[in-house]
Amino acid sequence: MMVNGQNDVMTANWNSIATRFKLKHLGKPVYPRASTMPPWQHVQTHQHTWGQLAYTSNGVLSIVTPEGNFVIPPDQALWLPPNLPHETFCRYGGYFRSVYIDEKYAPLLGGSAKLLHVDELLKAMILEICAWEPDYTLDEKTLRFIQVFVDRLESAPTSSFFMPTAQDDRLLPIISELHANPGCHKTLQQWGEEIGASTRTLNRLFAKSFAMNFSQWKQKLRALRAVEMIEAGHNQQYIAEQLGFESSSAFNTSFKKVFNCTPGQYLKRP
């Protein structure tokens, strides 16, 4: 596992595999990659010399980089610049539609991983490219299509479905436990007694790493996990129970604080 203590990959549920993509050079400006990911699949840490737009048209991906953990629902995609180590988790399965992008476009799209909002046009373009054969004809029309696609990526708004990497090892036991069990009810004082740090110190460390206190961090973690469960079709009562909320109402309130909409409104989004 690449980011020690910040994902629950080491639990018995995950089926951990190496990347199956062995191409050394793309040979084209963009390269289509379409596959179905089964539930509980983990693709081990890898990197490549080209960029990648990671997208799922159904289901939710979680991709971990040295920068942190990105949660990717179907209305978003993740830009991964060339040579960035990353590993992929798919808890509930989904249709993985990835576009590999020649490194020459990296200066336009940026040198850091970032989540992009996917509108209907960008979604259609991703799915169109992923329907191409790997040896597609690179004619003038195709080149124009690719340039418009890159332009849309460059102008796409960014998203905050992201949890940065912790900057202090004292936080790792807390983060590891709550990634594996987001319904855990231990207070920060109880964590402090286990770790040997005061509540004030731990809140200061959370603020330094995540620009939020422990309570806010836990709220965001639960909300991101809820997105996975909503997309998988679980009802709100089940999600509330699994995430440790006393009621569906409490879950709705917490979710709205993070995403400015209720779970029901999230489901009805365009």
Query: What pLDDT is attached to residue 167?
Result: 82
Are the C-beta atoms of 156 and 75 separated by less than 8 Å?
no
Q: Work out the angle at residue 6's Cα, subtended by the Cα atoms of residues 4 and 12, and round it to the nearest 5 degrees.
A: 85
Least confident of 1-10, 70-79, 183-192, 247-256: 1-10
How far apart are alpha carbons 7 and 58 in whole angstroms?
A: 22
Tokens at 232, concatenated? 């998988």
Tens-digit pLDDT profile for residues 106-144: 999 999 999 999 999 999 999 999 999 999 999 999 999
**What confidence category does residue 270 fall into, taking pLDDT thresholds of 50, 70 and 90?**
low
Taking each helix axis as running N to C, give the angle between helix 140-155 and helix 120-130, from 0 to 180 degrees, rounded to the nearest 10: 140
How far apart are alpha carbons 32 and 155 in whole angstroms?
A: 21
Q: Which residues of 34-72 are buried (b: 16+ CB within 10 A; e: fewer)?
A: beebeebbbbebeebebbbbbbbeebbbbbbbebbbbbb
Query: What pLDDT is attached to residue 12?
Result: 53
Q: 190 CB contacts (<8 Å, ≥6 apart)?
A: none
Query: What pLDDT is attached to residue 268?
Result: 79
Stated pTM of the model = 0.83
According to DSSP, the β-strands at 15-17 and 41-46 are parallel
Bridge partners (DSSP) listed for residue 223: none
Across the chain, the runs of DSSP E, i.e. the strands, are: 15-17, 30-37, 41-46, 51-54, 56-58, 61-65, 68-72, 76-80, 86-90, 94-101, 114-117, 162-164
**What confidence category does residue 237 fall into, taking pLDDT thresholds of 50, 70 and 90?**
very high
